[in-house]
Structure 1
Amino acid sequence: MITYKPKLLLFSHVSNTGSITGAEKLLLLFCLQVSPYFDCILAAPQEGKLTNYARKQGIPVRIQSYPLLYGMYFPGGRLEQEAEELRVHPDFSSVIRCITEIAPDMVLTNTVVNALPAIAAKTLGIPVLWKITEVMQATEYTSAAMHVIEKYSDCLIAISEASARIFRGRISRPITLLPPSSDNGLLHPDQKLIRTGYRKILRLKDSQTCIGYISSFIHPEKGLREFIHMALMISETYASCRFVIIGKPADQAYYDRCITEVNASGYRTRFRFIPFVESVHSAYNAMDILVVPSMVHEGFGMTALEGMLCGKPVVSFDGGGLGELMTMTGNAHFSVPLGDEAMLAVKVSELLEDPVLMQHTGSVNAGAARAHYGLEVYQDRVRSFVHELQRGCPDWMSGDISRSLSTYRAPLPIPLQGTASVKRKRGKKRMQKGLRSRIQGTTAAKHRHKKRKAGAKRRSLRRFKSIKRR
């Protein structure tokens, strides 16, 4: 029986203000699901959607800035040096102070690029859980990234086999697979009222087929250009199709080029561009087909999973964890080679040609997504992970680490050499000189006081004798 609830400090790599990314959603979900076993505190670099949602769920939040080490995603020749240079970054001492004040038993850092919290925690002797949500790119310097992970982590939590694969056989740290889920109770199929209402907002008729694209932030890696090319390929054949694009541009020049292509196509009126929607479930319900044309090997495919939970057929490129999701849910047939726009159009056309297949695929997706990635399945996986920690690392769960940090005092900074040191020496001399002056001044004042007192005594005696003679 657990008598102590360990404290877990979770560092998010971002906290976006306009929308919330898949990685942020997964961190919040993980935090909520481990809360029965840990006292969770969320650290984020700024206020945003994530911190707002966390507070509403009763999770304490600490705002603390820290830089990201992007070289961990695409390793370069200076990666290990860049990792060590984080120790002299202005935020490093602040993160150390943040950790010691909270005194956690464990620290979790989210995404492979969020290295500074891991380095700070290990400096203090705190166990580090490193959550890997992306597929690290393999380069000639991948071994440098492995060395950083090995040095500054105790356990890896990977959201897919695609994100874990590069580490297997290269590091000694245990790797736990924890595929995502969604705790959004609104992600359900057959919500006709929501569908009808949102299609009116999008100016869609019942006779029109809505093909959707959703991304929190739009940049080339998210494949908007490939989606548009696919849409233009089928527009002439399927006049009833409408294309809804939801997402905030992260690369404005790229986004503008995509819109320019649409405007020049002659099919501009068939496209709807929407920067952001608060209730994403409404958008999914308004769609008939969801296309996820990611141009990189994703760690997972949260957009695809959410679309499936809403009972939508999904067509995607086959890359990384997104491909795993498509295969696991029986959608390998609708997963096409990365970047093949023509094949993407073929698969969408196949669904458009057969409305019964479209409806059946969406229904099967809803069941398969819940069977493999439902909230209950995720809770079971989290429970198993926590039990493994309890059995394998009982000292992490005992409270000894937190208690030792509670008495920890950060060492004073090492005095700088050179000019600053000379200035301090000069300042010390001035202080000593001033002190001597004050001491000397006090002594002189005492001496003057004694002289005045002696003179007054003599004058008093003379007056007394004078009176006596009279």
Structure 2
Amino acid sequence: MRSKPRLFAFSHICSHSYITGAEKLLLFMLKELLPYFHCTLVVPNTGYLSVHAAKAGVAITVQPIPISVPLYLGQSHLMDELHEFRSRSDYAALVHLLAEQRPDAVLVNTSVHPMPAIAAKELGIPVVWMLMEAIRLTPYTSLSAALIERYSDWIVGISESTLQPIKMFFPHLTHRMMLLPPSWHIDTLHPASWLANRENRRNRLAIKHQHKLIGFIASSIYENKGFIPYIKMAVDVAARHPNAMFLVVGNPVDRPLFDSGIDMARQAGLLERFRWIQFEDQIETIYPAFDLLIVPSLTAEGFGLTALEGLIFKKPVIAFASGGLAEIMAATGNTTNAVPVGDVGGLIARVDAMLTSTDLYAIGERNAHAAEIAYGLTAYRVKLLRLLDMMRRSTVTVPHLVRGSLSVIYLLEGGVLRPFRSEAAVLEAGYSLDQVMEIDDATIDALPKGEPIGRSELPIALPTPAPPMARQLSRSRRRRQSSRTQGGKSRNRKSKGRAAARKRSGSSRKRVRRKRRS
């Protein structure tokens, strides 16, 4: 007997050089689930996330699995793409992994990672689908919502923005949904080191005590993260606040965009007031150096972990009110610092107001207290226990009977499909036909086949045999068809004989008439 059930968690990414917000949230959740589950993290490759998860006691399995961006973007070709994914060898490998290991539950991370959820549900494994992003609203969003509804048992959103598309199309599913915003382990952030880290980092960056350092952080810098609005704000603010300095932290995956922002600062003659760090995995050495944090995301954020981190580190935060960011700012009493998305003028006005404030420290202290109340570990664990209770009450272990597009019924047993010789064999084995679930042929094909179930005199139902009466009718039809065919041949021979006789008779009459004329 296992002391704890087994949970397989799937991450769509495992970067070698940095960690994304989604990876951070999954790592945190796995650490919180370890007291309740034997956790295995399935990653497409080894990297930062897998290394840190392994250190925490999580088992690691490497299995490449394709992701589906159309699911997140709400695009029309979603189902065509998923059908193509099923034909790949990595889908077969995924099915084999889950069937062989047979975890008690599967946790799918993000809305771009549907294949583990699909495979798990078709194998009868309960699925928790964590929605980390706000799915785009398009004419085809219903396809994405329907797919998530079909292939999950519980839908967990890190903000109301992530759950909104599902509620829009499936309002009756509230009993299967819950809100679970992220939290943090304060000991991993080493708060006793913050003051020293501030001095060290600012010294290394040549930031003086009187300077106000305004920060921008993104694991990857691209258009939707709002790098250009940040630069525009910085250029404008710098002209009025000579003590304002600017620090950009992030990996410039869109290099032309990044270079264009740097060119803006250069053309304004302000480049010496900017600093850039590509990546720093120890965030406790970065955030303390800031005096003010800007989070100008241009897309609807699933949550906005950067803003929460700024609040935790006792910093004033100004953000665009995009998706989950608006929720964070409202929950922590920062609504006035949530600027309409894309409003650079509003961003500048709030930064100006902050820089003229003489009590940024007091604002930061209040932010940290508000963040603790709204998103602290106590609040998180209360919600997590609700999810675990939902899973315990809803999970029922039943024999897993499946069939594909053909009539064969299988019992999934130990990662192997055992075919029943007939529907009668299903009933004789003590199962009900109501328990049979139809799944995709790709899943059937991916699994090894075992010994048939049922009496040997019962033929395996492949394909479904016609009923006895139908077979008798078929034989009768064949006899009638045969007799008609044979009769037709006899009639044809007789007709040909009569025609030949008529021809001979006509020739004789012609010879007689010629003799008479002569």
Shorter-chain-normalised TM-score: which range? 0.7 to 0.9
The aligned residue for residue 92 of structure 1 is 91
Q: Is the 8 A contact 2:128 2:153 kept in 1?
A: yes
Q: CA deviation at 1:140?
A: 0.6
The structure with the largest alpha-carbon Rg is 2
Q: CA deviation at 1:80?
A: 1.9
Q: CA deviation at 1:259?
A: 1.4
Q: CA deviation at 1:108?
A: 1.1
Q: 5 Å matches for 1:267-282?
A: 267-282=270-285
What is the identity, as a one-letter code, of the residue corresponding to 2:219? S
The aligned residue for residue 227 of structure 2 is 224
In structure 2, relative to structure 1, the CA distance for the partners of 1:412 and 1:166 (3 Å cut) is: closer
Q: 5 Å matches for 1:150-229?
A: 150-171=149-170, 173=173, 174-185=176-187, 186=189, 188=191, 191-229=194-232
The aligned residue for residue 439 of structure 1 is none
Q: Is the 8 A contact 1:105 1:399 kept in 2?
A: no
1:38-72 Cα distance to aligned partner (Å, 9 max, x none): 11100011111100100110100101101111000
Q: CA deviation at 1:4?
A: 4.8
The aligned residue for residue 395 of structure 1 is 396
Give the TM-score normalised by structure 1.
0.83
CA distance in 2: counterparts of 1:228 and 1:187, whole angstroms: 31
1:191-226 Cα distance to aligned partner (Å, 9 max, x none): 321111111111111011100011000000000110
In structure 2, relative to structure 1, the CA distance for the partners of 1:273 and 1:103 (3 Å cut) is: same
Q: CA deviation at 1:408?
A: 2.2
In structure 2, relative to structure 1, the CA distance for the partners of 1:399 and 1:47 (3 Å cut) is: farther
What is the identity, as a one-letter code, of the residue corresponding to 2:202? R
Match of 1:302 among 289, 305, 323: 305
Q: 5 Å matches for 1:20-419?
A: 20-171=19-170, 173=173, 174-185=176-187, 186=189, 188=191, 191-356=194-359, 358-391=360-393, 393-395=394-396, 407-409=414-416
**Secondary structure of the equivalent of 1:395?**
coil
What is the identity, as a one-letter code, of the residue corresponding to 2:392? Q
> What runs of 5+ residues in structure 2 fail to find an aligned partner?
402-410, 418-443, 448-518
Q: 5 Å matches for 1:415-426?
A: none
In structure 2, relative to structure 1, the CA distance for the partners of 1:268 and 1:169 (3 Å cut) is: closer
CA distance in 2: counterparts of 1:307 and 1:214, whole angstroms: 10
What is the identity, as a one-letter code, of the residue corresponding to 2:320? F
Q: Is the 8 A contact 1:83 1:148 kept in 2?
A: no
**Secondary structure of the equivalent of 2:218?**
strand
Q: CA deviation at 1:84?
A: 2.5
Q: CA deviation at 1:389?
A: 1.7
- Following TM superposition, the consecutive aligned residue runs of length 4 or more in structure 1 with deviations greater than 3 angstroms are 187-190, 398-401, 410-414
Q: Is the 8 A contact 2:14 2:44 kept in 1?
A: yes
Q: CA deviation at 1:383?
A: 1.6
Q: CA RMSD in A?
A: 2.1
Give the TM-score normalised by structure 2.
0.75
Q: May I ask how many residue pairs the two structures share in their alignment?
A: 408
**Secondary structure of the equivalent of 1:236?**
helix
Q: CA deviation at 1:375?
A: 1.8
The aligned residue for residue 425 of structure 1 is none
CA distance in 1: counterparts of 2:119 and 2:362, whole angstroms: 51
CA distance in 2: counterparts of 1:315 and 1:399, whole angstroms: 54
Q: CA deviation at 1:102?
A: 2.3
What is the identity, as a one-letter code, of the residue corresponding to 1:312? K
Q: CA deviation at 1:240?
A: 0.6
The aligned residue for residue 441 of structure 1 is none
CA distance in 2: counterparts of 1:321 and 1:187, whole angstroms: 27
In structure 2, relative to structure 1, the CA distance for the partners of 1:206 and 1:354 (3 Å cut) is: same
CA distance in 2: counterparts of 1:45 and 1:413, whole angstroms: 19
Q: CA deviation at 1:85?
A: 2.4
Q: Which moved more, 1:278-287 or 1:171-180?
A: 171-180
Q: Per chain length, whose mean CA-contact separation is higher, i.e. which structure has more relative contact order (CA < 8 Å, sep 6+)?
A: 1
